[in-house]
């Protein structure tokens, strides 16, 4: 009958978002042997040691929306730490990953698409160190290429749904759905959804296949989708900026590598790779 | 010697359900299973499953009769195709249905153009998805029963002057009754548990297309407290399914072979 504490009342202050990390410690240094960089904070611990002595295989659990951007980040990380290999990143819904971790799945690093989910893992004492937000994402209206229904605002989106157009959103239980609700609330409009999908990819697919006339997805998804669809920026999206925290896990097989990877997420090479996929630095 | 693997098999099948019961939060369970969302999802699930089962009977019984009496490679091919939804991942079924009946689908675009009818995102889509995945259970079960029963009695009845309709009504269907009952129950249970095809083809809107399996998945995807609701809803579905199977067992007409 034991239930993880995550399923009870979340502790609001449990998550510490470290705004400024001394990540420069593992930035690109001047070749092998230069292990003299000093750590300026105690929190990053082993991550702040020299780049070249890191070894081992890293297992990363990451929110589905980070694919494939995080693959590039992982490649950049390996380029800086040749002794490290990164197992194929396991991408899935943040909640699914959190549940898997709570049920004992082994991993070194977790990156979720929202703070709430991360909180459930932090509350369960599964993390080592603090979760740090390393990137953000915002919603965009997605419409088929050419924008046949001429959607330019959230008011247009609401009007479209009232006129019988098919507008799909994420279910309120999942992060993109929660964000959609906030954004629509900020705009003061009510959209009657044709369907509430389980994840942002399902929303995108419904628009891509022409089943839906419009949807609300992340900018990164629109970029990923290619020419079938286009994104429409809406100012209200700023009301629900999605923060992506990452953390090294307490049971990490490679604690030092895990900490180094989390710190690496905030460095320029990682941020550049993320930016290329539509993510925005926090 | 059979005991060890048999116990392992039974354990594998039963223990996950036990785990579900153990994990349930009994203090919030009553509230979770009687919440408006849960009742709405259960009502929709039962309604669509009954409708899908009726559709399976109306369409599947004739198909089984045709298959049971047909011979040749075309019949074999048709039989294989009819079995397909049984072995395909339901998500494939969902995509296939979308490509057939979706707004840009083979048939769907004509429906849209001629009648302004779009099927995805409607309760009808749920019923179609459930019928698609459940139909093989009825057709295959009934076909097997018909083949086992053979054609001797039918031939005798016909030789005594009974018309084709009379033979079907008085001989063929009564002989196949156990197969029909078993198939109907499996159909209903399968429709009740349908998830993949529904998720892709019908979507998920509370009260319209969000059946129990989708409500469970949706609750499970939510962080924190809603996962308790997922467990509660899962238990409710398990109880409903077991009840259906037990009732069907009790009603099953006396029969010799399994």
> What ipTM was estimated for this complex?
0.70
Distance CA B182, CA B176 (A): 10
Plot region of B92 (φ>0 → left; ψ -120 to 50 → alpha; else → beta): alpha
Decide which of B228 and B209 is more confident: B209
Chain centroid, CA B36 distance in Å: 25
Residues B218, A198: C-beta atoms closer than 8 Å:
yes
Q: Does B203 lie at the interface with A, CB-CB under 8 angstroms?
A: yes
The nearest CA of chain B is from the CA of A274 a distance in Å of 25
Confidence check: pLDDT of B221 > 80: no
DSSP secondary-structure letter at A280?
A: B
Residues A98, B223: C-beta atoms closer than 8 Å:
yes
SS3 B168: helix
**Which contacts (CB < 8 Å, 24+ apart) does range A93-96 have?**
A93/A63, A93/A64, A93/A174, A93/A198, A93/A199, A93/B221, A94/A63, A94/A118, A94/A175, A94/B223, A95/A174, A95/B220, A95/B221, A95/B222, A95/B223, A95/B227, A96/B220, A96/B221
Chain B residues touching residue A116 (CB < 8 angstroms) = 223-224
The nearest CA of chain A is from the CA of B254 a distance in Å of 43
Distance CA B211, CA B216 (A): 9
pLDDT attached to residue A42: 40
Distance CA B64, CA B141 (A): 9
pLDDT attached to residue A30: 39
pLDDT attached to residue B226: 65
Chain A residues touching residue B232 (CB < 8 angstroms) = none
Confidence check: pLDDT of B18 > 60: yes
pLDDT attached to residue A224: 87
Beta strands in chain A (DSSP E): 56-58, 60-63, 84-86, 90-92, 109-111, 127-137, 139-144, 167-170, 195-197, 214-218, 229-232, 242-249
Distance CA B16, CA B78 (A): 37
Inter-residue contact B192 to B42 (CB < 8 Å)? no
pLDDT, mean of residues A221-230? 90
DSSP secondary-structure letter at A237?
A: G
- pLDDT tens readout for residues B132-156: 999 999 999 898 888 888 788 888 8
State the average pLDDT for chain B: 87
Residues B228, A116: C-beta atoms closer than 8 Å:
no
Other residues' Cβ atoms within 10 Å of the Cβ of residue B181: 18
- pLDDT tens readout for residues A67-97: 889 999 999 999 999 999 999 999 988 888 8
DSSP secondary-structure letter at B109?
A: H
The nearest CA of chain A is from the CA of B83 a distance in Å of 28
- What Å distances lie between residue A224 and A157, A201, A205, B145, B173, CA to CA? 22, 10, 12, 52, 56
SS3 A173: coil
Whether pTM > 0.90 for this model: the answer is: no
The contacts of residue B18 (CB under 8 Å, 6+ apart) are: none
Nearest to A27 by CA among A274, A259, A273, A269: A269
Nearest to A207 by CA among A148, A164, A154, A156: A148
pLDDT attached to residue A32: 40
Inter-residue contact B219 to B233 (CB < 8 Å)? yes
- What Å distances lie between residue A257 and A104, A244, B231, CA to CA? 20, 20, 36
pLDDT attached to residue A181: 93
SS3 B72: coil
Inter-residue contact A197 to A168 (CB < 8 Å)? yes
- pLDDT tens readout for residues B90-134: 889 998 998 899 888 899 999 988 998 889 889 999 999 999 999
Beta strand A84-86 with A56-58 is: parallel
Structure token digits, residue A140: 């965009």
Nearest to A120 by CA among A95, A93, A103, A137: A95
**pLDDT tier, A243 (very low <50, low <70, confident <90, very high otherwise):** very high
Confidence check: pLDDT of A100 > 60: yes
Distance CA B74, CA B86 (A): 20
A11 → chain B, closest CA residue: B224
Residues B218, A93: C-beta atoms closer than 8 Å:
no
Of A1, A120, A209, the CB nearest to B102: A209
pLDDT, mean of residues A134-143? 95
Distance CA B220, CA B57 (A): 34
**pLDDT tier, B258 (very low <50, low <70, confident <90, very high otherwise):** very low
The nearest CA of chain B is from the CA of A4 a distance in Å of 10
- Give me the phi and psi of A147, to 5 degrees please: 45, 60
State the average pLDDT for chain A: 82
Distance CA B4, CA B1 (A): 6
Of A10, A173, A211, the CB nearest to B222: A173
């Amino acid at each position: 009958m034991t239930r993880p504490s995550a399923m009870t009342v979340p502790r609001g202050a449990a998550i510490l978002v470290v705004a400024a990390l001394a990540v420069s410690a593992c930035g690109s240094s001047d070749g092998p042997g230069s292990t003299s960089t000093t750590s300026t904070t105690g929190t990053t611990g082993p991550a702040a040691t020299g780049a070249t002595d890191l070894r081992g295989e890293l297992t990363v659990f990451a929110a589905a929306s980070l694919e494939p951007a995080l693959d590039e980040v992982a490649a950049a990380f390996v380029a800086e730490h040749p002794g490290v290999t990164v197992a194929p990143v396991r991408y899935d819904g943040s909640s699914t990953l959190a549940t898997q971790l709570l049920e004992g799945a082994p991993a070194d690093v977790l990156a979720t698409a929202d703070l709430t989910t991360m909180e459930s893992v932090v509350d369960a004492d599964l993390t080592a160190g603090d979760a740090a937000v390393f990137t953000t994402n915002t919603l965009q209206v997605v419409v088929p290429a050419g924008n046949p229904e001429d959607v330019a605002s959230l008011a247009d989106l609401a009007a479209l749904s009232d006129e019988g157009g098919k507008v799909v959103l994420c279910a309120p239980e999942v992060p993109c759905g929660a964000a959609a609700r906030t954004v629509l609330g900020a705009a003061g409009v009510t959209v009657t959804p044709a369907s509430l999908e389980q994840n942002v990819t399902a929303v995108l697919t419904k628009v891509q296949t022409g089943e839906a006339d419009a949807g609300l997805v992340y900018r990164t998804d629109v970029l990923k989708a290619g020419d079938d669809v286009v994104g429409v920026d809406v100012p209200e999206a700023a009301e629900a900026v999605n923060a992506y925290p990452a953390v090294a896990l307490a049971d990490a097989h490679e604690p030092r590598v895990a900490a180094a990877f989390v710190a690496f997420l905030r460095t320029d090479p990682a941020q550049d790779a993320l930016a290329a996929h539509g993510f925005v630095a926090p | 010697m059979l005991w060890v693997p048999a116990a392992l098999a039974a354990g594998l099948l039963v223990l996950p359900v036990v785990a579900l019961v153990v994990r349930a939060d009994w203090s919030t369970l009553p509230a979770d299973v009687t919440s408006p969302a849960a009742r709405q999802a259960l009502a929709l699930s039962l309604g669509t499953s009954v409708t899908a089962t009726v559709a399976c009977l109306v369409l599947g019984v004739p198909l089984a009769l045709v298959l049971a009496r047909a011979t040749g490679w075309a019949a074999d091919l048709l039989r294989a195709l009819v079995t397909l939804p049984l072995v395909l991942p339901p998500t494939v079924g969902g995509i296939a249905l979308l490509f057939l009946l979706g707004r840009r689908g083979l048939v769907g675009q004509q429906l849209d153009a001629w009648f302004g009818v779009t099927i995805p995102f409607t309760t009808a889509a749920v019923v179609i998805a459930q019928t698609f995945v459940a139909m093989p259970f009825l057709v295959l079960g009934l076909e097997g029963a018909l083949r086992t029963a053979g054609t001797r009695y039918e031939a005798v009845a016909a030789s005594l002057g009974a018309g084709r309709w009379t033979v079907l009504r008085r001989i063929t269907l009564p002989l196949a009754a156990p197969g029909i009952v078993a198939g109907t129950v499996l159909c209903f249970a399968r429709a009740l548990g349908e998830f993949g095809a529904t998720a892709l083809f019908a979507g998920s809107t509370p009260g319209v297309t969000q059946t129990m399996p989708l409500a469970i998945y949706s609750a499970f995807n939510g962080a924190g407290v809603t996962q308790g609701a997922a467990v509660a809803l899962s238990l409710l579905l398990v109880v409903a399914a077991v009840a259906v199977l037990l009732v069907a067992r009790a009603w099953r007409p006396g029969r010799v072979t399994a």
